[in-house]
């Protein structure tokens, strides 16, 4: 039987690295697209910090922290998705589509990690509800 927490951790951390590479190395985007990507990046940072705390820090087994990580991860993926769609509409004016590929891969990994977190919560991961 798969350990959904390990799978979620792998997908969230690898997706964050891929998204970070695309975000940092990317060409300047329109202000509205960049705003969506920045919000997604900040949410992704918060999700990664919470995931590290849940897996290896003082929040091990805390169900509320696990649910918060799941919500932050899915919200990060949603904001990145909106940014990618807005970029796709304005694709002809773009100079470097390759960094957006990294951003899209990071978004997909965020959604997959969020789904694994949903499965981990449903399986009973994080039995404690308080600190």
What would the mean pLDDT of 77-93 be, rounded to a whole number? 83
The pLDDT, as a whole number, for residue 73 is 92
Report the chain's terminal Cα–Cα distance, integer Å: 28
The pLDDT, as a whole number, for residue 21 is 82
What would the mean pLDDT of 86-114 be, rounded to a whole number? 80
- Contact yes or no for 21/102 (Cβ under 8 A): yes
- Contact yes or no for 43/77 (Cβ under 8 A): no
The pLDDT, as a whole number, for residue 65 is 85
- Spell out the residues 6+ positions from residue 118 whose beta carbon is closer than 8 angstroms to its own: 70
The pLDDT, as a whole number, for residue 124 is 75
Residue 93, pLDDT above cutoff 70: no
Answer left, alpha or beta for residue 124, where phi above 0 means left and psi between -120 and 50 means alpha. Answer: left
Residue 121, pLDDT above cutoff 60: yes
Q: Residue 46's pLDDT band (boundaries 50, 70, 90)?
A: very high
What would the mean pLDDT of 53-81 be, rounded to a whole number? 85
Give CA–CA dist 67/20, Å, rounded: 23
Give CA–CA dist 70/114, Å, rounded: 5
Residue 97, pLDDT above cutoff 80: no
Q: Residue 92's pLDDT band (boundaries 50, 70, 90)?
A: low
Residue 4, pLDDT above cutoff 60: yes
Give CA–CA dist 73/16, Å, rounded: 10
Residue 25, pLDDT above cutoff 80: no
Rounded to two decimals, the pTM is 0.82
Give CA–CA dist 102/119, Å, rounded: 26
CATH class of 4-123: mainly alpha
Buried b or exposed e, range 50-67, using 16+ CB within 10 angstroms: bbeebbeeebeebbebbe
């Amino acid at each position: 039987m798969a350990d959904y927490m390990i799978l979620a951790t792998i997908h969230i951390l690898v997706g964050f690295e891929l998204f970070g590479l695309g975000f940092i190395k990317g060409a300047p985007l329109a202000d509205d697209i960049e705003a969506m990507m920045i919000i997604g990046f900040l949410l992704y940072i918060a999700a990664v910090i919470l995931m590290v705390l849940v897996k290896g820090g003082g929040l091990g087994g805390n169900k509320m922290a696990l649910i918060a990580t799941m919500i932050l991860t899915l919200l990060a993926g949603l904001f990145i998705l909106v940014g990618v769609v807005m970029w796709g509409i304005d694709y002809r004016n773009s100079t470097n589509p390759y960094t957006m590929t990294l951003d899209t891969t990071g978004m997909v990994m965020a959604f997959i990690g969020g789904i694994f977190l949903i499965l981990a919560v449903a399986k009973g991961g994080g039995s404690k509800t308080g600190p």
